[in-house]
A and B are shown apart, each in its own frame.
Chain A
Amino acid sequence: MNADSPALRLRALRKSFGRPAVDGLDLTVRRGELYALLGPNGAGKTTTLRMVTGLLAPDAGDVEVLGVDLARDPAGAKRGMAYLPDDPLLYGKLKPTEYLEFVAGLWGIRAEDAEPRARCLLDWLDLAKHAHELTEGFSRGMKQKLALAGALIHEPELLILDEPLTGLDAAAARQVKDLLVSHVDQGGTVILTTHILEVAERLAQRIGIIRQGRLIAEGTLAELRARTDGGTLEDVFLQLTAGQPT
C-alpha cells in the first residue's frame, strides 16, 4: 500500500439502476481524517459506499482504497478496510466470540493477534457478559456493537460506516462515537454517513454533501458555512440541498 496516497479516491464513479444513482462522483478522503458523507434520502450515499467496499460493481469510474485499485486488486484493497452496513446481518445461531472468530478468519488474522483484540473489543463494548448467548436474541444496539467489533477485529486503516448510530441508545451511541474518534486519533480514517447532522457537526473534520449522485459541496464546517448564509450544519445542509428531506 502506498503511504502517500489518500485513504480513498473516487474518480468519475457512476452507477445506474435505470436512473443514475451515482453520477460521475469524484471524491478524495485523506488518511487520518473523519469524513462525513451527507445527503438526502436516495442521494446515492449507500450505493457509493457499496461500490467502495466491492459489494457493487460500478458502471464506470475508479475506486482506489489506500492506494490500491479496487478493480485490479480487490483483495488487497479490502485488506485494510472494514465496512459496517446500516443494518448489519449477523449469524443468529453464532455466539459473539464465534462471530469474531469467523470475521478474523475472513481477514486472515493470526490467532495470537486476534484473540487479545477480541477480548478487548468485547469488554470495551460491554458484550463480554453476553459472549455465551446466540446473537439472534440480541437487541438492535447489541447487534450493531457486535458488528462494529467485527469491523475492528482486523484493525482496519479505513473504517466505512453507513448510519452507524441508528437504533443505538445514548450510552451505546456515545461508545461508538468515542471509538470512532479514538480510531482517527490513532491514525485511522473513518468515512461515515449519517442523518444525525449534530454527529457530523461534532465529529467530522470534513463533510461532503451529495445530491442525485453528485458531490455538490465539500469542506470543513467553516468552509461550508462560508459558502452559505452560515448557521448550524442543518441550516447549511438544508440550503445546499434546497430543502430536500434528509
Chain B
Amino acid sequence: MTSFRLAKGGLIDRATELSFRFDGKGFTGHPGDTLASALISNGVHLMGRSFKYHRPRGVISAGSSEPNALVELREGGRKEANTRATVVELYDGLVARSQNRWPSLDFDIGAINALASSMFVAGFYYKTFMWPKSFWEKIYEPLIRRAAGLGHASREPDPDKYEKSYAHCDLLVIGSGPTGLMAAVAAARGGARVILADEGAALGGSLLNENEEIGGVSGLTWAQGIIAELGSLPNVTLMPRTTVFGWYDGNIFGAVERVNDHVLEPSLYEPRQRYWRIIARRAVLAAGAEERPIAFGGNDVPGVMLASAMRTFANRYGAASGKSIAVFTNNDSGYRTARDMTAHGVRVEVIIDSRADAKADAGGVPVLRGRKIVNVKGGKGVAGVELDDHTHVPCDTLAMSGGWSPIVNLACHQGAKPRWDAAIAGFVPPDVGPAFTAAGSAAGKMLLSECLADGAAKGALDGKLPQVATCRDEAFAITPLWWVRESTGKAFVDYQNDVTPKDMPLAAREGYSDIELVKRYTTAGMATDQGKLGNVNAIAILAEATGKTIEQVSTTTFRPYYTPVSFGAFTGPFTGHHFQPVRKTPLHEWADEEGAVFVESGLWMRSSWFPREGEDWLAAATREVITARERVAICDVSTLGKIDVQGADAGAFLDRLYCNTFSTLAIGKARYGLMLREDGIVFDDGTTSRLAEDHYLMTTTTANAARVMSHMEFCHQALWPDLDVQYISVTEQWAQMAVAGPRSRATLQKIVDGIELDDATFPYLAAKELTVLGGIPARLFRISFSGEHAYELAVPADYGSMAARAIMQAGSEFGIAPYGVEALSIMRVEKGHVAGSELNGTTTAADLGLGKMMSAKKDYIGRMMAQREGLTDENRQCVVGILPVDKSDRLRAGSHLLKRNDPPSMANDQGYVTATAWSPALDRWVGLALLANGRRRHGEIVKIFDGLRNIHMYGEICEPMHYDRENLKLHA
C-alpha cells in the first residue's frame, strides 16, 4: 500500500509507531494522529456508507463537524457507536469498524437504494409506507428499523467509571485558538479566575492547523508561548479534550472532559469521562468558524473534502489526502490549500473559482475563474472532475470551500436566533447580554488581526487591554455559491441524511416551507452532526426556492448538545447500587439475623417475612399472624415517619394540620390523627402522642414521611408564621418495634424498668417516656395496628437491634416470633384498618369511614373544600369489607365490583377491591373494597370481575372489620 505520509512536518511523533485495526485490517500511525489522519496517511478515504442510499463516503472534515466518517470505536462493553474518526486520538491497539454497511464497507448491498432514489425523496417516510395499512407493523416498520440507524450500541455493560464535577470561574473561554488565547491571557493577567476549555487534544485551535505568522514567529510558536504563560498562572485552569456542549440559565455551561478516551483503557482509579458543570460570571465564545461545503454533482465521492480539512491533514498530521489535487472555491480561503499543499510538495492541478473576478494569490497554481464543477468522476475515489464548460480536469482529490459559518450554537441555546451577515455570507451570534459574548471568527471577524484584538477586548475584564502582537492576515472575500444548478451528478446538501438540493424546493411545494418543517420533512440537519456543515446551504437553497431572503428563512433552533455526549457521562457514578441510596432501619441487622426476606419500600429495605424451613411467603406470613394472634410477635416499624413537635403552640399547630383535635389530648396519651389536603382529600394518617404540655410526637406513614414534613414547614412558615412551634424529623434517630399478641404485656414487662404495665398505669393508648433494660431511654405506646393487645416500643437507633434481641429472649418462653410487613398487611385487612391502597389520593375522610373525626369547631387544612357537594355525595365509593360467597374462592385485589346481574362495563362499574388477605383466623380470603354507596349495601351480594384473569365470582358486602368486631382482643 502506498504511503500518503508527507516526508516531514506535522505535530506527530514519527519516532513512535502505533498499530490499529479498521474493519479488521491492520494499519500503523503515530502519536498525534487522529483515526482519520492515520487512515488518510495509509491511503484510506472510504470510511462509511451514507444513511439512505448507502453511498460510499470518505472523510469530509478534520474535526467535530464530521458527518461521514462515523465508526464504531472499541469493542465489547467499551464500544461507542457513531464516533467521528476525525476526533478520535490514535492509540496503540485501537479497534474501529465502519457502520451502516452489509456485508462489507467495500461491497454494500444497501447501495441498491440509490437505484430507487426517486422513491427516497423528501418525506419518503410519509409517502412510501402509507398503504396497505396492515403492512405497517409486520413489514414496513421492521424493514425501516433494519435499514435505518447508524452504529450499533453494545449490549454489554460499560466497565468504565464516569465522574461529575463542578467548577466556578470569573471567565470561561470556549475555544483556544488565537481569539480564545488572547481572551484568556487578558483576563488572567488581571488576576481573574479563568477556565480555558477546548474540545481538541491540544490547545491552540486553528493555529495547530494553519500556517500563520504572529509577532514575527509562527502562529504555533506564538500559541505555545501564551499557553505556557497561562499554565504558569495559579488562577488559570486549562481544560483540553473538553467540549462545552450547552449554555444554561444562570450562565452555567455543561461540558464533558474526555479524560481517558485517548488510551486503550483508563487506569484503575481514573474515569473515562468527566461531566462538568461550569458556573461562569462571564464567558467568551471563541469557538471559531466552520468551513462549508458546496452542493455539486458527486460532492460526496470519497476524496472530496473541505479545503481546510485537507490542509489540516497535511499541516498538522503530515498526511497528504492525494497526489493530484484540484480546489473548488467561492472565496479566497480555498487558495490557502493550494499554496500549503504546493509547499508540502503535493501537485495541485488547478483552482476552480466560481467567481469571475477572483483576485487571490494562487501561488503559481493555474486558476479557472467563473467556472463550476458539475460532476465528480469516480465511485469509491475521485478520478477527475467535470466543469460547466464540459472540460475535464483529472485529479485524485478535491478540496472545496463554500465559505465560513461562525460557530454560533452555544449563544443560541437559550432561544435567541443568530443574525445574517451578508458581508461574510454567514450567520453571526445574537447579542445575548454581557455575561456571554462571542469573539473572533465565532463573531464573524474573519481576519486573524481582528481575532487577536477582539479576544483581547472581550477577555480584559478589568478594562486593561494587553498588547496585541502584529500578524499576517489572509484575505477573506466571498461571493456566495450554495449549489451548482447545472450539476449532472447527484449533489448533497446534508451528507449524513443524503439530502439533495432538490429536496428543499420539493418540501416547499408540498407545503412545508418553514425551515423547522423543512428540517423534519427532508431530514436536513438531523442526526448526530445536526447539520453543522449543511444547514446554511439548505437555508439558502430554501430561500431561493421560496423567494425569501436568508434572513427571513432564518435557522432552525439550536439546542444542546453541541456534539453527542455519552450516556455514561450523564449518569456519572450513579449506576447499579449507587443509583439511589439504600435506607436500612436500625433493626436491619437484627432482622437479618432472624432470616428476614427484605422488600424495597421506597428507598427503605423492610423485613417482609421470616421464612422457616420449607415455607413460602404465604406459609411464613400465615404462621407469623397466628403467632401474633395467639402468643406474641415482634415487628420492625422504624420506617414510619416520626416528627418531634415542640413549643407553646404545638397543640394549636397540630389542630390546624389534622382534621381532628390534638390540643385536648391528655399528656401521656396517644391519638389516631387524619390529615387532609387543602382540597379536602385525605393526605396522611398516624398516631400522635403528647409527651408533655408543649411536646408532641407525630407519626406519619412510611411513604409520606418527607411530604408531611415539607407540608408542615409550608403551613408554619407560609401560612401561620406567628405560631410558636418547632419540629424536626426524628425518623432515623429512633428504632421502633411493634410487640403484639396476648403475651406482649408479659414479654415487655420483663424489660421495662420500674413500671407495671397493667391497665391502671398503662392503659390502652398510653404513651410514656421510660427506660428499659436497666437505663436505656425509651418510649412506650400502647397502640395496635394488628388488633391485638399490643405496644410499640421506641429506643434510640443504636440500641435498636440490642433491644429487639432482648425482647426475643424475653418472649421466648411464650413462643415469640418476628413478623414482617406481609403479616402486618394480613392483620390490617382482617381488622379493616385503612392503608395506602385506600388513602389513594381520591378518598375523603367519610369515604374511609372516618367522617366523624372531622372537627366542626376549628379551622384546619382541607376543612372548607371537604364540604363540597361532590365530596359529600352519599353515592361516593366508600370502604367496605368483602367476602367471597364461595368460601374457597380467592379474592384478587384490583377486581371490579358490579351489581349481581350486570355484565361488566365501564357504565356498570360500582367500585373495586383494594386489598385482600388470606385470614388464618377466619380460614378464608377476606378483602376491603371501595364501593359506591357502600355503607348502605352491607349484606348485598355483588359480582366480582377480574378482567385480567377473566374471573367472575360473587361476594358479600360487609363492614370493613372482619376479625374481632367487638375489639375484645385489643382491650384484653
Same assembly: no
Binding site for A on B (CB under 8 A): none
Binding site for B on A (CB under 8 A): none
